[in-house]
Structure 1
Amino acid sequence: MDPLKLPFDADAMLAGLRPWIECESPTWDAAAVDRMMDLAAYDLAQMAEIERIPGRMGFGGCVRARFPHPNKGEPGILIVGHMDTVHPIGTLAVLPFKREGDICYGPGIMDMKGGNYASVEAIRQLIAAGMQTPLPVTVLFTPDEEVGTPSTRELIEAEAARNKYVLVPEPARDDGGAVIGRYAIARFNLRTHGLPSHAGARLSEGKSAIAAMARKIIEIEAMTGDDCTFSVGVIHAGQWVNCVSSVCEAEALSMAKTQGDLDDGVARLMALAGEENGVSFEITRGVTRPVWEPDQPGTMAMFEIAKDLARDLGFELTGTSSGGGSDGNFTGFMGIPTLDSLGVRGKGLHTLTEHIEVASLAERGRLIAGMLMRLS
């Protein structure tokens, strides 16, 4: 049977996806992420051998599912996706699960629970039809991708090393295309140390850590160019408005198309550390996603298969290197053939308008099912 003709039903898939969306799972809430993993484990347990891997470093745990196969244990296909989202608990109040025609809204529905669910449905449809994939299939759902995968990178790399191919159901690109390479991303922790004083009675005696950080943020973001970008997305400081702040902390992100450009950008940023006007500025490196170079032969061979399948589904699949890192950075960097952004179509990821095209659930389910049957 042709896997592209399996009876995928977008409406039924959306109904199955709804509990996943209504189980909010922000990265920093380990208990919430674990509740999401419970739902995924339940859905997968009907088809696979399930392992619950405890979390560490304050993050939630993982779910690993291995499906029955005559060659179980041999190198096969790894599907890797994250279940954490950027949306805090309570987002459902302002971004509820809501369908409007062919659009459905909800926190994490595009990034990336929709793609994860399409992957599970692809495997379910193949099993129901009695179709055996040429290679064993493993699914690994992780809890910390949105903060750079600090606790599970080693696990992902170890699992990828046991397999021949990696599929990543991150959201499709704007044109429905796939990703065949990703830029390098580095994170930084910033801190200024000032001198406290009473902001009303003795303002001139203080040295504001907040003011110093504000000036540094302007300087850092002004370093953005065509080869390397810089942005500051988190800042924490102060407890009392009547005190000149003594400490301010922030987090910065840098992205570059090549490792050389990133290394240069890192060096320029680190050179800003020091002391000025009695306020010190400290920079420490955070997690880094390495460059996944495009046009690797194994990845391009996978992409050609995906393009053929997409044509049979009625659309042209493009492939490009992309920013916005994923766990595909790690597996692609390792040289393991990896195809990313096989997930759902939509818009507004990481915002309060996040939504998907409902029809794309079935489209991507068929595409992933086809990949599972064609890769050998």
Structure 2
Amino acid sequence: MDAATARHPALDLPFDAEAILAGLKPWVECESPTFDAAAVNRMMDLASRELALLGARIDRIPGRMGFGDCVRARFPHPAGDAVPGILVMAHLDTVHPVGTLAKLPWRRDGGTVRGPGIFDMKGGTYLSVEAIRRILAAGIATPLPVTFLLTSDEEIGSPSTRDLIEAEASRSRYVLVPEPARPDGGVVTGRYAIARFNLRTTGRPSHAGATLGEGRSAIREMCRQVLAIEAMTTEDCTFSAGVFHGGTWVNCVPTHCDAEVLSMAKRQADLDSGVERMLALTSSTNEVLLEVKRGVTRPVWEPDGGVMALYDHARGLARSLGFDISHQSSGGGSDGNFTGAMGIPTLDGLGVGGAGAHTLDEHIAIGTLVPRAKLMAGLLSTLS
């Protein structure tokens, strides 16, 4: 896996930022929020066509649990499908609901371009497609077969696709994840463990005007719980509530309240301890019921020798291109959690530079497009 002494021709492929932006724009303007399967499938249609035109064999994998389809694109290789190769793993769902384009339209502003999902992670995904496009156009043979796996539910923890991701990764020698680059341009060689929880409080309804005292508010109890849960945060394990729903009518003491909580830890043991604490929660009163259910969990991914060798290889390529890349373990999960935890050498954070993920300020830095595309092309062309 050592970089060749002579400069590899893939590092000098003629990438063009304007061409990349022109191809990326339709992807960004095809809104694809996780919970809208039809919208995600429209995005899968776009990506499938793009990859098919490049000669990939497209497998459309039906969605389940109400989520969108996935796409596997295998590029022809003399070694065939049986040889473990490179898996480029990306998701095409976003957190932004349909209609976000009205608030966050595709807009170029100096050295940045804005749009929903452009940074997380359509920019990096399209960049990877552009990398294989340029490799094929130049007639460069990749030492290993290349497969793209595009999934539909990463933004909510990949509940319907984890088995697919792990099955494909088990047939791969390396996994490359074009999630956004770190703020300093570095890459990700590990990720923290993450657990999600669904909470429900059930109180006793009453008329909020005539018989207020007879009711027991589910919202009031949930507020107590959220304050107590977030107060459990330490350096080793964090807790945060991000979704909250309760009540039906303002003149009725609410019967139900639902919340979603996220816990994150650098070490699996710390997360396991946090999970125990969450599942042991009880209501502050016998008159309101509290239920806590564990949701999607991402295992901790800690870098091993295989990951660091892959990083060193990528760093050597980056230096040949005139820049350097640091590495770090990162909070915030990705599907790299699964493959890294399996022991498959995985390199994450290979996507574009930018900021504002999941917000109405989401944007990419145009100046990072060509260097990152060349880095991805270098990896696809030199890993063996």
Q: TM bucket by the smaller chain?
A: over 0.9
Q: How much does 1:57 deviate?
A: 0.2
Give the match for residue 333 of structure 1. 341
Could you list the runs of 5+ residues in structure 1 that have no partner in the other structure?
Answer: none
Letter in 2 for 1:14: L
Q: How much does 1:274 deviate?
A: 4.2
CA distance in 2, matches of 1:362, 1:115: 11
CA distance in 2, matches of 1:363, 1:278: 60
1:365 to 364, 369, 373: 373
Whether the 8 Å CA contact 2:283–2:290 is kept in 1: the answer is yes
Whether the 8 Å CA contact 1:185–1:290 is kept in 2: the answer is yes
Give the match for residue 168 of structure 2. 159
Query: Which structure 1 residue ranges, 4+ long, deviate > 3 Å from structure 2?
Result: none
Whether the 8 Å CA contact 1:188–1:285 is kept in 2: the answer is yes
CA distance in 1, matches of 2:65, 2:215: 36
Matches within 5 A, 1:16-165: 16-47=23-54, 48-73=56-81, 74-165=83-174
Whether the 8 Å CA contact 2:194–2:298 is kept in 1: the answer is yes
Whether the 8 Å CA contact 2:245–2:257 is kept in 1: the answer is yes
| TM-score normalised by structure 1 residue count | 0.99
Alignment of 1:175 with 2:168, yes or no, is no
CA RMSD of superposed structures (Å): 0.8
Whether the 8 Å CA contact 2:61–2:72 is kept in 1: the answer is yes
Could you list the runs of 5+ residues in structure 2 that have no partner in the other structure?
Answer: 1-7
Alignment of 1:204 with 2:213, yes or no, is yes
Alignment of 1:14 with 2:31, yes or no, is no
Q: Deviations over 1:175-221 (max 9, x none)?
A: 01000011000000000010000001000000000011011111111
Give the match for residue 251 of structure 1. 260
CA distance in 2, matches of 1:340, 1:264: 27
CA distance in 1, matches of 2:220, 2:360: 30
Secondary structure, in 3 states, of the residue corresponding to 1:4? helix
Q: Deviations over 1:287-342 (max 9, x none)?
A: 10000012x11111110011011112222100111110000000000000000000
CA distance in 2, matches of 1:17, 1:358: 12
Q: Deviations over 1:89-114 (max 9, x none)?
A: 11000100100121000000000000
Give the match for residue 239 of structure 2. 230
CA distance in 2, matches of 1:299, 1:106: 32
Q: How much does 1:268 deviate?
A: 1.3
Give the match for residue 347 of structure 1. 355
CA distance in 2, matches of 1:81, 1:7: 24
CA distance in 2, matches of 1:2, 1:311: 15
Give the match for residue 5 of structure 2. none
Q: How much does 1:32 deviate?
A: 0.2
Letter in 2 for 1:43: E
Alignment of 1:315 with 2:323, yes or no, is yes
Whether the 8 Å CA contact 1:193–1:209 is kept in 2: the answer is yes
Whether the 8 Å CA contact 2:131–2:374 is kept in 1: the answer is yes
Whether the 8 Å CA contact 1:171–1:342 is kept in 2: the answer is yes
Q: Deviations over 1:63-105 (max 9, x none)?
A: 1100011012111000000000000111000100100121000
Q: Deviations over 1:18-60 (max 9, x none)?
A: 0000000000000000000000001101121111111000000
CA distance in 1, matches of 2:322, 2:105: 32
Whether the 8 Å CA contact 1:305–1:374 is kept in 2: the answer is no
Secondary structure, in 3 states, of the residue corresponding to 1:287? strand
Letter in 2 for 1:276: T
CA distance in 1, matches of 2:57, 2:64: 22
CA distance in 2, matches of 1:50, 1:124: 16
CA distance in 2, matches of 1:49, 1:273: 52
Q: How much does 1:271 deviate?
A: 1.5
Q: How much does 1:4 deviate?
A: 1.2
Secondary structure, in 3 states, of the residue corresponding to 1:164? strand
Q: How much does 1:358 deviate?
A: 1.2
In the alignment of these two chains, the number of paired residues is: 375
Give the match for residue 4 of structure 2. none
Letter in 2 for 1:369: A
Give the match for residue 356 of structure 1. 364
Letter in 2 for 1:316: D
Q: How much does 1:275 deviate?
A: 5.9
Q: How much does 1:277 deviate?
A: 4.2
| TM-score normalised by structure 2 residue count | 0.97
CA distance in 2, matches of 1:231, 1:260: 19
Whether the 8 Å CA contact 2:221–2:284 is kept in 1: the answer is no
Q: How much does 1:131 deviate?
A: 0.2
Q: How much does 1:273 deviate?
A: 2.9
